[in-house]
């Protein structure tokens, strides 16, 4: 009886150890540090590890990147990281549950020049790229615009023709799995034209991660 009890105790201790190790390996900070350099052109592995160490030590997590400029980690959570790569560029990552045993990584890279535009990518937890379409259907221009009644059609059409490039800025909510996509095309238009388009703009689109995909 004592031997069986000891065996059971050891068994569950080992299971618990490997479960804890597996969970830790899925945390954002571990995945971030182990990201391939090919996906992190500005930051070395040492840069990435330093950012984590600094922020966990309640220090300013700023490092000198490969180009001799400053990059800073501004948010670090169990499943979320945000980097200010440069004054004009940010990078975010979120660890999302695909099912009970598998996670995926979603990254958002945003450049502002001056209008902001984001690129969304998905990866396995060992940073193999995944096709985007199973996980999200990105908005099109019409999703951000309200069709006017007949009285406003002329003004709308004039402003809409000037919005010839779809620009969107995406941001994760660090507290949950929401992803907010904001229409930024007006930011590159002339102020006068943007003002004409303003009355027809819809609210930013909010996606929520559910059953392994982002849904509105």
- What are the backbone dihedrals phi and psi of residue 42, each rounded to the nearest 5 degrees, phi first? -90, -30
> Maximum distance among all alpha carbons in the chain?
87
What was the pLDDT predicted at 152?
67
In the predicted model, what is the mean pLDDT of the chain? 88
pLDDT, tens only, 19-66:
434 444 579 999 999 999 999 999 999 999 999 999 999 999 999 999
Q: How many CB atoms are closer than 10 A to CB 177?
A: 18
Q: Residues with Cβ < 8 Å from 71, sequence gap 6 or more?
A: 42, 43, 47, 51, 62, 63, 64, 65, 83, 84, 85, 86
Instruction: Report the distance separating Cα 124 and Cα 31, nearest Å.
Output: 10
Alpha-carbon distances of 15 from 65, 74, 78, 150, rounded to whole Å:
40, 35, 22, 67
Q: Is the peptide bond before 85 cis (omega within 30 degrees of 0)?
A: no
Q: How many CB atoms are closer than 10 A to CB 122?
A: 20
pLDDT category, 15, cuts 50, 70, 90? very low
Instruction: Report the distance separating Cα 14 and Cα 7, nearest Å.
Output: 11
pLDDT, tens only, 64-78:
999 999 999 999 999
pLDDT mean over 158-164? 82
């Amino acid at each position: 009886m004592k031997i069986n009890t000891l065996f059971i105790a050891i068994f569950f201790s080992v299971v618990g150890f490997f479960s804890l190790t597996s969970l830790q390996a899925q945390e954002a900070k571990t995945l971030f540090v182990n990201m391939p350099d090919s996906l992190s052109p500005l930051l070395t592995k040492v840069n990435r590890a330093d950012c984590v160490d600094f922020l966990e030590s309640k220090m300013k997590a700023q490092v000198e990147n490969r180009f001799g400029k400053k990059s800073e980690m501004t948010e670090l959570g169990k499943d979320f990281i945000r980097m200010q790569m440069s004054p004009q560029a940010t990078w975010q990552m979120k660890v999302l549950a695909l099912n009970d045993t598998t996670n995926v990584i979603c990254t958002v890279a945003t450049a502002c020049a001056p209008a902001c535009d984001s690129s969304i990518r998905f990866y396995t937890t060992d940073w193999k790229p995944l096709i985007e379409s199973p996980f999200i259907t990105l908005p099109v221009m019409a999703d951000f615009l309200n069709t006017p009644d007949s009285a406003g059609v002329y003004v709308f059409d004039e402003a809409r023709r000037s919005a010839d490039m779809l620009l969107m800025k995406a941001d994760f909510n660090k507290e949950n799995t929401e992803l907010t996509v904001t229409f930024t095309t007006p930011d590159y238009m002339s102020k006068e034209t943007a003002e004409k388009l303003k009355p027809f703009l819809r609210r930013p689109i909010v996606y929520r991660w559910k059953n392994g995909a982002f849904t509105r």
